[in-house]
Structure 1
Amino acid sequence: MPTDRFRALDELRAFVVFLVVALHAALTYMVYAPEWWYVLDPQRSLIYTRFVLLVDVPIMLIMFFLAGYFALPSLERKGAATFLKDKAIRIGGPWVFGVLVLAPPTAWMIYYSRGAPLSLFAFWTGDFWGVAYQQSVYWFLGVLLALFLATALVWRLTAGTAIWRRRPAAPPAWVLAAFVLAMILASLATGSSVDRWSHNWVLVYQPARVPLYVGYFALGIWADRSGWFTDGGWHPKLVHWLPAMIVAGLVYDATRMILPTLAPAGLVNLATAVFFNVFCFTSLLAGIAVFSLRRSHGPVSQSLARTAYGIYYLHPLILYPLALIAVAWPVSIHVKMPAITLIAWLVSWALSAGVLTRVPGLRRMF
């Protein structure tokens, strides 16, 4: 497989991780922010509300797509047993540590930032395992590990059959449309809001997006088997997908910000599911098209690609305390938001590059 393909998709992942940091920073300053968010600044702006609504749509589903895209080549190269051992180390270990050790103090920020008289230890041994249970950003690792496990099991049972055979081909337009329609219907079938979170203690997830986690992961596998992004394979064209993404984003923004004041709830829910999925899909292909245009991959972009996992993993530990400190800054939130985003991202990058990817033991995971 061409090196440039890996670099383009790795750089897309690194950019998505930056957007994750920015999204989590913006939630502090958005109007209608979730009441449970870790730190809420008294100053708010609809600019950040719109930013959150748009950025939240594609980022994690792009991550699921990329994970699926690289899953089969790794399975073929290592075999199911070694593949699962590798994922247990790289995904399972950080997930368990994140849930048990890092998520509790992160969640405690909800209490601490509001002046609640509850110590971290009391929270950790009490409320965290009840009304305040969550997995912070580490939920993604748990769901991803489940998808890798299911993929390895199916592959082990059907290895050598035609379903895994590579058949390089451009995707017919009707197949892409059918995929989007299937995602719309599946998310509607859950009967849940696209914003609601739930958990079964082991996995934390958004019910309306669970079919999308599976769908985009499977789409990534199919894209790999179909030779997308290879030399001579199918490449999404920027001239097609970027305008489609922009139009879909504008319509989705109107659906979330304007339509609720004009239409009944049932119509709003239908329109939200439709345009959420259209915007998500067009964002995926537009993002791939943008990064596929790059022909120069310098040391900075290579470092960001190499450390993206660590940045994702570490950034809540830096961003949320920083957001609390920034509440007292006598400056505009339009200074605060980019400042805390940039600082948290840079510090996470430095720690990922200098510690997680270098220290023996840790670098096996990150």
Structure 2
Amino acid sequence: MSPQPRIAALDNLRTLMVLFIVLLHAACAYAFSIPWWHVRDGLNQGFDLLIFCIDGFALPVLFFVSGLFAEPSYERHGRGGFLKGKLRRLGIPLLLLPVFYLPAMVYVGYHHRDSFPVPFFDYWLHWVSTMGDWRFVLLDSMETGVHYVDACSPHHLWFVFMLLIFFAGYALCRPRFRGTDERRVTRSTLAWTWLLLAAGYAGINLLFQDWAWARLGPYILFQPTRVPLYLGAFLFGIHARPHLARQGTLPGSPYLWMVVFPVLFVTMLATTDRTMPTGPASLPEAGLRGFLRAGMVVSGICLAVNAIRRFLRTASGWQRSLNSSSYDTYLLHMPLVVFAQALLLTVELPSLLKMLLAFLATAVLCWALSRQVLARLPAPASLGLLLAFFTACCLLF
């Protein structure tokens, strides 16, 4: 079977969602809802709304796009090549960056909250000393979270770990996903997807509270209630690939989904307790929350895909360059956002402008590093660059 051609609109979609994630993290320093964030500056509830909105669609769309790309990647490389490629591309950064890159980001927060901070290298020794702790911990309260704030963690790379698990599962279960290039996505498909995601979310929410994170060792971090949503979005992407390759869009116009998504989002805000309650939800609460969150996932995916297909279906030279850097941008962005927020702490500017500056500076720097540095270096040299960054942190701080 000949390899399936790349679809420029889907590359554009993935890049746009990564940039939304960068924007989300750029807003975290200014939001009330992220009290553990490494920099706290000029809090305003408007940033909470922005974070809640992006959280409702950006990551599910990224998992959906990953599902779309799974099949052509598997066809190009076969099972062995597919798994080796994913282990190399996803597994190596997941192993190395939490050890040599992310500690610098967390040290920024530690340096601000501790009156007598230790040097960075001493802090790093404590960080790596926690890597042997492989107990399962549910981070469902601020007290528990504070206990692990200086422990080795993947932070935003939880997405990479979960994606690696999904790809491995796809490769092992490949025969169940094969068999047709005639798969269609109809309104009935969307309704069943919505229902199944809602049921999965509600079932988990009966056991775990909505916002809680689960930690297992230094590399595994996830929100239990989100797992059915992300897995469902990934599987939806696998199912939708032949349909999008033929017809280009999902059912419904972007204008329809532009109405549905905000209605569900506003309803969720109006009906959901945002005070981080302890304990699992009741059955009515879990059912309602599952219906709304699953609806945001389905409508967010349909809105994103159909809008991109209509308004951004081709890619110019600079867009292709930006698309090529999207994965590196995701890997690199979070510490750079925190560094920018820390530099802006003492600058007298409105919080909105600070957020935009942190976002733009990070996005441009990630793009430059990806295209001008990482793309031109062999893998051993990239590792040397990472170790040089770590050494500089030890010498400067």
After alignment, is 126-135 or 178-187 more displaced? Answer: 126-135
CA distance in 2, matches of 1:335, 1:234: 35
Query: Does the alignment pair 1:134 with 2:153?
Result: yes
What is the aligned counterpart of 2:203 among 164, 189, 202?
189
Q: Is the CA contact (8 Å cut-off) linking 1:193 and 1:269 kept in structure 2? A: no
Q: Per-residue CA shift, 1:291-333, capped at 9, x if unaligned?
A: 1113442112111111111111111231101101211111111
Letter in 1 for 2:262: I
Q: Is the CA contact (8 Å cut-off) linking 2:249 and 2:309 kept in structure 1? A: no
CA distance in 2, matches of 1:258, 1:138: 25
- Post-superposition offset of 1:107: 2.3
Name segments (4+ residues, structure 1) moved above 6 Å: 257-261, 362-365
Structure 1 partner of 2:82: 83
After alignment, is 142-151 or 232-241 more displaced? Answer: 232-241
After alignment, is 231-240 or 214-223 more displaced? Answer: 231-240
Q: Per-residue CA shift, 1:109-129, capped at 9, x if unaligned?
A: 221232352332233222562
Relative to 1, partners in 2 of residues 1:93 and 1:83: Cα closer, same or farther, differing over 3 Å? same
Gaps of 5+ in 1: none
SS at match of 1:122: helix
CA distance in 2, matches of 1:71, 1:325: 39
Relative to 1, partners in 2 of residues 1:186 and 1:295: Cα closer, same or farther, differing over 3 Å? closer
CA distance in 2, matches of 1:87, 1:32: 34
Structure 1 partner of 2:31: 30
CA RMSD between the two structures:
2.7
Alignment of 1:1-366 (within 5 A): 6-33=7-34, 35-41=35-41, 43-116=42-115, 117-127=117-127, 129=130, 131=148, 132-155=151-174, 158=175, 163-190=177-204, 191-201=207-217, 202-224=219-241, 227-232=242-247, 235-236=250-251, 237-256=253-272, 266=282, 268-293=285-310, 294-361=312-379
Q: Is the CA contact (8 Å cut-off) linking 1:187 and 1:209 kept in structure 2? A: yes
Gaps of 5+ in 2: 134-147, 384-397
Q: Per-residue CA shift, 1:74-114, capped at 9, x if unaligned?
A: 11221111111111211111111122222222222221232
- Post-superposition offset of 1:354: 0.8
Relative to 1, partners in 2 of residues 1:50 and 1:256: Cα closer, same or farther, differing over 3 Å? farther
- Post-superposition offset of 1:233: 5.9
Q: Per-residue CA shift, 1:195-225, capped at 9, x if unaligned?
A: 221121142111111122221111111112x
Percentage of matched positions with identical amino acids: 26
Letter in 1 for 2:271: T
Letter in 2 for 1:331: L
SS at match of 1:94: helix
TM-score in terms of structure 1 length = 0.88
Q: Is the CA contact (8 Å cut-off) linking 1:90 and 1:364 kept in structure 2? A: no
- Post-superposition offset of 1:59: 1.4
SS at match of 2:36: coil
Q: Is the CA contact (8 Å cut-off) linking 1:111 and 1:118 kept in structure 2? A: no
Q: Per-residue CA shift, 1:253-276, capped at 9, x if unaligned?
A: 323478999xxx745554333212
CA distance in 2, matches of 1:259, 1:314: 31
After alignment, is 10-19 or 144-153 more displaced? Answer: 144-153
Relative to 1, partners in 2 of residues 1:165 and 1:111: Cα closer, same or farther, differing over 3 Å? same
Q: Per-residue CA shift, 1:133-162, capped at 9, x if unaligned?
A: 32122111111111111211222xx3xxx7
Q: Is the CA contact (8 Å cut-off) linking 1:183 and 1:211 kept in structure 2? A: yes
CA distance in 2, matches of 1:169, 1:184: 23
SS at match of 1:336: helix
Q: Is the CA contact (8 Å cut-off) linking 1:106 and 1:136 kept in structure 2? A: no
Letter in 2 for 1:208: T
- Post-superposition offset of 1:364: 10
Letter in 2 for 1:125: L
CA distance in 1, matches of 2:74, 2:290: 34
SS at match of 1:199: strand
Q: Is the CA contact (8 Å cut-off) linking 1:108 and 1:123 kept in structure 2? A: yes
Q: Is the CA contact (8 Å cut-off) linking 1:311 and 1:345 kept in structure 2? A: yes
SS at match of 1:204: strand
TM-score in terms of structure 2 length = 0.81
Structure 1 partner of 2:389: none
CA distance in 2, matches of 1:193, 1:211: 14
CA distance in 2, matches of 1:268, 1:189: 11
Q: Is the CA contact (8 Å cut-off) linking 1:169 and 1:233 kept in structure 2? A: no
